[in-house]
Structure 1
């Protein structure tokens, strides 16, 4: 074990337990100490689910990337593991960037991007290369053949600066890796490599490209088959807004189609994965029961709102089960969360203009399901973490077919993005809005997960009222549970 890795492991164990559990989310992965971002190595190993992540334990801001590590048996309770990797080799001395993992013959294989800098003609050049580490679920060693893929293996003109985030899988005895890249025209693309032994890799082709429309770099790509379709998910950088579908900056994207015999993705549908303020870099695994389960990083690169007094920064989303229906990716919280439901509240009622419902329900660790039967109004509002002049509003406008999330009055003291909107289907009976809240996280799923919206708030935890209001009448069934883990 290198001194850098040993230092990180000791630092984590000395500091992580100092963070009070009352401050942490209860059923979401959060940083043990310091900073985390992209989920990595989301995989099954020996019957348990392992999650690695980009990790800088020494600061609550991004820094030299390590791989942190947690595992779970039910997607809700998580066990902290030793730091898995540190930037301790020449080929990754500037960071162990994002990657993935698979189990092969009892070994846990990690594939990641190593980053290093060199002086070339008096200019500092950054190189990104793909590397392999092998372990037993707790300890990992980097293989001597690293780096196994370099930008020299790409077609002429492709970027060696932007070449990262490998997603590895095996099919018919061959290993494949899908990697984010930029082509000779500086256009975002995802490329495929293959190998028989994890050591010698060959370039296959470019699976799909941005075409100068969907951002300039597709980070953290993932490709899988689901419900008879091929699905590519990615996180484009430097996007330009398109209506309410895609927002500026870093976002998420799902492409549904079919991969043809030449390994090209023929698109049927392109849409955003999550419409909230804080969701990025999702990655999927196939669970032992066959479910496709996705987890993402709940934070925005451009809207850092972690409170200054926190010694940790970074939360992952609730793991979500995926399905494809009518050429659209649906996502819904894993059913395992239901085992932790307590204090059931259910009420069939009408919300009437001019009345307050703030004494009806409360909570900051809740599963709230609203089944709306009638919406004779122009706006229906749900206020969460409400009290002392603070609140976060979810507004549903049935005539405009828009849901708006607004954290302007959540207690923020930074000039950051607070409002985001998403377009949904026309109103129909039994329309469902499900809100899963874990102290600071608000994840909303509309109509069984056809639309998802994930955002953070850092309102004081003792502010936990929930209120409803409308300018007309809304008939609905309110079903609410406390989540106790």
Structure 2
């Protein structure tokens, strides 16, 4: 459902005009639904009014409107389009929680695999050869360096050039993941960031980030949470870099989407 003007509850429902799902049990004969859990569907900036379809092979697939009500009138000229739809997402429920994964057919568009394992990230932004682009499917595993304290912050920056970038950052001491587009090229004081409380395993976190020219969708722990945002950054800004305040170890697998 897509309620409007909601008050936040902890780290849930910060969009005001957001989306939520109700999970519970349904008794068919009496048509009685018993709610057992509720949660945000998307923890990012731009996601509203999702619709679902049932595929012939039995998958429940959802697509959302990748926009938020507070930026509807801020169309930048001279683009001939405004707004877009999210990736189709396969839905499932595990242990009373909604999970979302990019529809499996997306993997058929993957090309040019590049991977690194055990890369130490510390201090200044790190660029890796072959890790760049604006139509990208990228899997990250972030972990503490062996024998070292948890880093204070880890960030991946994308759609990046000398002036612009969008970032997804993780603070393990606070268990907070944030998407932030304030340096993406926006010329207005619009909604630029959202934070989500995430689960981590001793400071380790797994992310899948899908970039589609003017959008980013970040899937946490195989879809346990998702953060979505649109960006208005020139396509020439195609850099990707990694940063740690402290020290972290990174595994990354990146594909171009063709």
Equivalent in the alignment of 1:399: 173
Instruction: Compute the TM-score of the two structures, normalised by the length of structure 1.
Output: 0.50
1:401 and 1:427 in contact (8 A); partners too: no
Shift of 1:359: 4.7
Conservation of the 8 A alpha-carbon contact between 2:144 and 2:151: no
Q: Secondary structure at the match of 2:84?
A: coil
Would you say the 8 A contact 2:205–2:221 is kept in 1? Answer: yes
1:241 Cα deviation from its structure 2 partner: 1.6
Alignment of 1:341-360 (within 5 A): 341-360=110-129
User: CA offsets, 1:153-199, max 9 Å, x none?
Assistant: xxxxxxxxxxxxxxxxxxxxxxxxxxxxxxxxxxxxxxxxxxxxxxx
Q: Residue 316 of structure 1 is aligned with which of 85, 100, 111?
A: 85
Partner of 1:371: 141
Count of matched residue pairs: 251
* Corresponding residue for residue 55 of structure 1: none
Residue in 1 aligned with 2:104? 335
CA-to-aligned-CA distance 1:424-464 (integer Å, 9 cap, x gap) = 11334863100000001100000010000110001111001
Match of 2:56 in 1: 288
Task: State the alpha-carbon separation in 2 of the partners of residues 456 and 280 from structure 1.
Answer: 13
How far, CA to CA, are the matches of 1:430 and 1:396 in structure 2?
Answer: 10
Residue 5 of structure 2 corresponds to which residue in structure 1?
238
Map 1:55-134 → 2, pairs under 5 A: none
Q: Take 1:475 and 1:443, find their aligned partners in 2: how far apart are those partners? A: 23
Q: Which moved more, 1:331-340 or 1:354-363?
A: 354-363
Shift of 1:378: 1.1
Q: Which deviations, in whole Å up to 9, do the C-alpha atoms of 1:322-342 show, x marking residues without a partner?
A: 110010000000111111111
Counterpart CA distance in 1 for 2:155 and 2:80 is 34
CA distance in 1, matches of 2:187, 2:124: 30
Superposition deviation, residue 353 in structure 1 = 2.1
**1:387 equivalent among 153, 161, 182:** 161
Q: Distance in 2 between matches of 1:262 and 1:277?
A: 38
Checking the alignment, whether the CA contact within 8 Å between 1:351 and 1:470 is kept in structure 2 is no
Q: Secondary structure at the match of 1:471?
A: strand
1:369 CA displacement: 0.3
- Give the deviation of 1:249 after TM superposition: 2.4
Q: Distance in 2 between matches of 1:314 and 1:369?
A: 26
TM-score normalized by the length of structure 2: 0.93
Deviations 1:30-81 (A, max 9, x none): xxxxxxxxxxxxxxxxxxxxxxxxxxxxxxxxxxxxxxxxxxxxxxxxxxxx
Q: Which runs of structure 2 are paired with 1:172-251 in the superposition (5 Å)?
A: 234-251=1-18
Are 2:78 and 1:325 aligned? no
CA contact (8 A) 2:207 2:221 kept: yes
SS of corresponding position for 1:276 = coil
Deviation at 1:262, TM superposition (A): 3.4
Residues in 2 aligned to 1:298 and 1:286: alpha-carbon distance in whole angstroms: 21
1:215-250 Cα offsets, whole Å, 9 max, x none, are xxxxxxxxxxxxxxxxxxx11111112221111421
Residues 362-391 of structure 1: CA distance to partner in whole angstroms, max 9, x if unpaired?
Answer: 110000100223363010011111112111
Instruction: Tell which structure's C-alpha radius of gyration is larger.
Output: 1
SS in 2 for 1:472: strand
Q: Distance in 2 between matches of 1:335 and 1:341?
A: 11
Distance 1:333 1:248 in 2: 22
Question: Structure 2 CA distance, aligned partners of 1:439 and 1:274?
Answer: 20
Which structure has more relative contact order (CA 8 Å, sep 6+)? It is 2
In 1, Cα distance between the equivalents of 2:184 and 2:197? 23
Distance between the aligned counterparts of 2:171 and 2:9, measured in 1?
A: 20
What's the offset of the Cα at 1:475?
Answer: 1.2
Aligned mates of 1:350, 1:319 — CA distance in 2: 32
